[in-house]
Amino acid sequence: MKGGGAIRSGSGGGGGLMRTRLRLPVVLLSCSLFFLAGFFGSLLFTQDPQGEEELERPLSRERLMEAVWPEMAYGDSGDPAPSLIPYQILSWQPRALYFPQFATSEQCENVVKTAKARLRPSTLALRKGETEETTKGIRTSSGTFLSADEDPTRTLAEVEKKIAKATMIPRSHGEPFNVLRYEIGQKYASHYDAFDPAQYGPQKSQRVASFLLYLTDVEEGGETMFPYENGENMDIGYDYEQCIGLKVKPRKGDGLLFYSLMVNGTIDLTSLHGSCPVIKGEKWVATKWIRNKTV
């Protein structure tokens, strides 16, 4: 019943059977043709004229910036395009900012290589009544001062330019870099970078801010610490040797900026800071002290 019914509905007789047999290949052929036309047509429409490679390449930083920020008129000393220098605010008391990947690995290695041959035991600015003997043990690293002109790789000049951009304080206000190496057990007890005239005598200019560029990772210890962060520990007779408060772990290529002066020009008491002893590994850091007058 089922078979007969199928023939009847298609043709009504033997000639109908013939037509059914002929129609099947025709249908198959047209389907294939449609499929091929669709396939090649879609290729034509989806292909990028610049090629697949171009599609896979991410937009360059410049092109991305152009797309996000339309052009802005700029002054003689300005930059033709916005800069991207990512940072994280670590604290408002003191004003401390962290700059991930501020310098490349290669730049850090260049600075270490240039400084290595010149290292001497680090020294301290002495307060009235202090001597080398009475301050022994406060700062136990080795270090050297390096100005950008002394660096044949030009790395320090590049870093200096970027620090000036990040702080908006011209390069001419920066002291030469103080490149420091801390070996196991070495440290810098808490201190201020700004000089209180009551303790150090009259000052021609003052340190406004410090920018630290970490040149190596440190396996354990060696954090830059701010024991008075947010006003903590200020009233407990804090022992300057103690490693407490906000601790910043050194990471190769990252930068740390903090301000030693308040906006009104007085010393920010929460900017007290130091370096915890290195427990494992070796710490290298380049410090740039920035002043309120040209150096």
What is the smallest separation between the CB atom of 190 and ligand AKG, expressed in angstroms?
8
What is the smallest separation between the CB atom of 185 and ligand AKG, expressed in angstroms?
14
CB atoms within 10 A of CB 207: 21
In whole angstroms, what is the distance from residue 155 CA to residue 241 CA?
34
Per CB under 6 A, the list member of 94, 96, 144, 193 interacting with ligand AKG is: 193
- Cβ closest to ligand AKG, residue 79 vs residue 239: 239
Distances (CA, A) of 80 to 21, 132, 158, 234: 75, 50, 18, 46
- Cβ closest to ligand AKG, residue 114 vs residue 122: 122
By CB under 6 A, how many residues form the interface with ligand AKG? Answer: 12
In whole angstroms, what is the distance from residue 55 CA to residue 209 CA?
44
- Cβ closest to ligand AKG, residue 115 vs residue 180: 180
Binding to ligand AKG, residues 205-264 (CB under 6 A): 210, 212, 224
- Cβ closest to ligand AKG, residue 164 vs residue 256: 256
Judged by CB under 6 A, the stretch of 50-58, 76-84, 160-168, 269-277 that binds ligand AKG is: 269-277
Binding to ligand AKG, residues 13-72 (CB under 6 A): none
Q: Mask 144-183, x = binds ligand AKG (CB under 6 A)?
A: ----------------------------------x-x---
- Cβ closest to ligand AKG, residue 66 vs residue 217: 217
In whole angstroms, what is the distance from residue 10 CA to residue 19 CA?
9
What is the smallest separation between the CB atom of 223 and ligand AKG, expressed in angstroms?
7
188 binds ligand AKG (CB under 6 A): yes
What is the smallest separation between the CB atom of 256 and ligand AKG, expressed in angstroms?
8
Peptide bond connecting 94 to the previous residue in cis, omega within 30 degrees of 0: yes
What is the smallest separation between the CB atom of 225 and ligand AKG, expressed in angstroms?
8
Q: Mask 273-292, x = binds ligand AKG (CB under 6 A)?
A: xxx---------x-x-----
If DSSP states are collapsed to H, E and C, what string results for the chain? Answer: CHHHHHHHHHCCCHHHHHHHHHHHHHHHHHHHHHHHHHHHHHHHHHCCCCCHHHHHCCCCHHHHHHHHCCCCCCCCCCCCCCCCCCCEEEEECCEEEEECCCCCHHHHHHHHHHHHCCCEECCCCCCCCCCCCCCCCCECCEEEEECHHHCCCCHHHHHHHHHHHHHCCCHHHECCEEEEEECECCCEEEECCCCCHHHHCCCCCCEEEEEEEECCCCCEECCEEECCHHHCCCCCCCCCCCCCCEEECCCCCCEEEEECECCCCCECHHHCEEECCEEECCEEEEEEEEECCCC
What is the smallest separation between the CB atom of 273 and ligand AKG, expressed in angstroms?
5
- Cβ closest to ligand AKG, residue 114 vs residue 141: 141
- Cβ closest to ligand AKG, residue 155 vs residue 226: 226
- Cβ closest to ligand AKG, residue 162 vs residue 226: 226
Residues at the interface with ligand AKG (CB under 6 A): 178, 180, 188, 193, 210, 212, 224, 273-275, 285, 287
